[in-house]
Amino acid sequence: MTSWCSEDFFPTKLSFVYFVAYMGLFINQGILVTASKTKNNAYQYNTVTVVLLTECLKLIAAILIYLRGNSVSSLISEVFKNRKVLLYYFVPAGLYCLYNNLQFVNLGAYDPTTYFLLLQFRVVVTGVVFQIIFQKKLSCIQWLSLIILTIGCIVKEYGHDASRSSSMTIAGGSGSQVFSYLDPHLFLIMLQVFSSCFAGVYNEYLLKDKGCDIHIMVQNVFMYVDSIICNVVVLSLRGQLTSAFTQTSLETIFQIGVIAIMVNNAAIGIVVSLFLRSLNSILKTFASALELMFTAVLCYFIFGISIDVYTVFAIFIVSGAVFLYAQNPVVNKPKNEIASASGKGPENSVQKV
């Protein structure tokens, strides 16, 4: 049996640090964003501007980290030499951009409870996409743990705002709640789910396959440059680029709370790349589920947001899924590491599941 401390689960001490840092930063992000809301559950700052500036901050951070041990000329040379990989990164960058825009469309069509319930299918879809892109078959135990994890996340989100959902059902009739899941916008929800899953797994593929010999911070530079371009194009097409950087918009951003959100989110971007390079997308879904549970507990102590029986039940379900997954975790190493360990060329390397 495989334990939490095994080499298959966490290959190195740093990989465990990335796992904990990933959860910690996401939990912190949720708390920071919640704290930045007004009493009317709105934001006093321009979220579009924050998103773009955060991407720029990620780019600056990646460049500075790379320059700690390398020269500017080396960075330019790496970018020019691997410009083909730069183009590949338009795939995850474009899909993340699509995801970010669809969340506003879908939240306008669904109530938050339904929206987040449907998003939990990301866990299973990630498993399917992972199998296709890496041409690997997950074991029965791995699939069972993913399904149980999905159930745990659904239970958690079902309990979220349960009282409001029940009142909406009473007011609108029992049939309206059922038909809300059959709304034509369901296609857009599934498109959003696929965009998120494919972008994450394809990002891992670039880190471990196409760009495995490229410095990880150079790959981050590719990702953030492409993300900035995609977001600027979308905002230009929507006629919102100018309004995103007006003096009023910028003034609302230069606050300690908003700057903390941007810095924390930039750190998330760097840690995610390190996480995917060292671990994998499947374990990332487990980290995200655990983050949901920890966030609920911390919000209870910090903001006094009550923890209902659904959350408690979900914590037990997710814990069971994690324990089951620990018995047979996915191992997906970078191609160059596998080739080096086996003494074979990259084309003959076999990755273990």
- Phi, psi of 45, deg, nearest 5: -115, 160
> Alpha-carbon distance 197 to 282, whole Å?
10
> Alpha-carbon distance 136 to 348, whole Å?
15
> Alpha-carbon distance 18 to 22, whole Å?
6
Quote the pLDDT of residue 168.
Answer: 42
Quote the pLDDT of residue 345.
Answer: 52
Quote the pLDDT of residue 134.
Answer: 93
249: which 2 tokens? 């918009």
Q: What is the pTM of this model?
A: 0.81
Grouping H, G, I as helix, E, B as strand and the rest as coil, residue 37 is: strand
User: In this structure, are residues 299 and 31 in contact, taking their beta carbons and an 8 Å threshold?
Assistant: yes
Instruction: List beta partners, residue 187.
Output: none
Scanning 36-82, the segments in alpha helix (DSSP H) are: 47-67, 72-81
Number of Cβ atoms within 10 Å of the Cβ of 127: 24
Consecutive 10-residue runs of the chain (353 residues): their mean pLDDT? Answer: 58 90 87 80 80 92 96 95 95 91 74 73 93 93 94 79 46 43 73 93 94 94 96 86 83 89 93 93 89 78 78 88 89 78 51 40
Nearest to 274 by CA among 10, 19, 11, 13: 19
Q: What is the DSSP letter of 209?
A: I
- Phi, psi of 268, deg, nearest 5: -60, -45
> Alpha-carbon distance 197 to 99, whole Å?
10
Quote the pLDDT of residue 175.
Answer: 43
User: In this structure, are residues 252 and 44 in contact, taking their beta carbons and an 8 Å threshold?
Assistant: yes
Quote the pLDDT of residue 81.
Answer: 95
User: In this structure, are residues 22 and 284 in contact, taking their beta carbons and an 8 Å threshold?
Assistant: yes
Nearest to 103 by CA among 60, 140, 48: 48
126: which 2 tokens? 């990630």
Quote the pLDDT of residue 349.
Answer: 41
Q: 271: which residues sit within 8 A by CB, 6+ positions away?
A: 18, 21, 22, 25
46: which 2 tokens? 């321009």
> In the block, which residue shows the tokens 């866990």?
123
Instruction: List beta partners, residue 43.
Output: 37
- Give helix 186-205 / helix 122-134 axis angle, nearest 10°: 40
Q: 326: which residues sit within 8 A by CB, 6+ positions away?
A: 2, 3, 4, 9
Quote the pLDDT of residue 106.
Answer: 79
User: In this structure, are residues 235 and 121 in contact, taking their beta carbons and an 8 Å threshold?
Assistant: no
DSSP string, 152-192: HHHHHHHHTTHHHHHHHHHHH-HHHHHHHTTSTTHHHHHHH
